[in-house]
Amino acid sequence: MALTPEDVLNKTFTQTQFRRGYDEREVDDFLDEVVAEMRRMVKDSEDIRARAQDGGSSAAPAAAAAATTDGSADEALVRENADLKSRLEDLKARFEKETTARAESEKRAGELERRTAELEQGAKTRDERAKGDSAKVTSAEQSADERIATVKARADEAEKAAQERIEAANKAAERAEAEAKQRQEQASAAQATDGGAGEMAAAAGGGAGASGLIALAQRLHDEHVAEGQTQRDKLVAEAQRQHDELVAKGQSKHDELLSTGQTKHDDFIKTGQGKRDQFIGEGTTQRDKLLSEAQTKSTSLVSEAEAKRKKILDDLNAQKTAMEARISELTTYERDYRRNLKEFISGQLKGLESAPQNAPQNAPQTSSSETAAKS
Q: At what angle do helices 67-194 and 24-58 cross, to 10 degrees?
A: 170
**CA dist., res. 104 & res. 11, Å (int):** 26
pTM: 0.29
* Contacts for 14 with CB less than 8 Å, ≥ 6 apart: 22, 23, 26
SS3 letters across the chain: CCCCHHHHHCCCCCECCCCCCECHHHHHHHHHHHHHHHHHHHHHHHHHHHHHHHHHHHCHHHHCCCHHHHHHHHHHHHHHHHHHHHHHHHHHHHHHHHHHHHHHHHHHHHHHHHHHHHHHHHHHHHHHHHHHHHHHHHHHHHHHHHHHHHHHHHHHHHHHHHHHHHHHHHHHHHHHHHHHHHHHHHHHHHHHHHCHHHHHHHHHHHHHHHHHHHHHHHHHHHHHHHHHHHHHHHHHHHHHHHHHHHHHHHHHHHHHHHHHHHHHHHHHHHHHHHHHHHHHHHHHHHHHHHHHHHHHHHHHHHHHHHHHHHHHHHHHHHHHHHHHHHHHHHHHHHHHHHHHHHHHHHHHHHHHHHCHHHHHHHHHHHHHHHHHHHC
Residues forming a β-bridge with 22? 15
- Segment 291-316 shows an average pLDDT of 86
Which amino acid makes up residue 253? K
**CA dist., res. 111 & res. 209, Å (int):** 98
Every domain of the chain and the residues it spans: 19-127+277-343, 139-252
* Contacts for 210 with CB less than 8 Å, ≥ 6 apart: 173, 176, 177, 179, 180
* pLDDT at residue 66, as a whole number: 47
* Contacts for 23 with CB less than 8 Å, ≥ 6 apart: 13, 14, 15, 16
Of 124, 106, 142, 88, give the one whose Cα is nearest residue 16: 106
Residue scoring higher pLDDT (187 or 284): 284
On the question of pLDDT at 41 being above 70, the answer is yes
Residues for the chain: how many in total? 375
Classify residue 210 by burial, with Cβ atoms within 10 Å: 0-12, 13-18, 19+: buried
* pLDDT at residue 128, as a whole number: 84
Query: In this structure, are residues 87 and 264 in contact, taking their beta carbons and an 8 Å threshold?
Result: no
* pLDDT at residue 362, as a whole number: 47
- The model's confidence at residue 155, banded by pLDDT at 50, 70 and 90, is confident
Q: Encode pLDDT of 222-246 as tens digits.
A: 887 888 788 888 888 888 888 888 8
Chain centroid to Cα 319, Å, comes to 61
* Greatest mean pLDDT range, 3-12, 120-129, 197-206, 256-265: 256-265
% the chain with pLDDT above 90 = 0
Weakest mean pLDDT among 41-50, 124-133, 255-264: 124-133
Q: Encode pLDDT of 83-124 as tens digits.
A: 777 777 777 777 788 778 777 877 887 887 788 788 888 878
- The model's confidence at residue 71, banded by pLDDT at 50, 70 and 90, is low
Nearest 5°: phi and psi at 4?
-105, 160
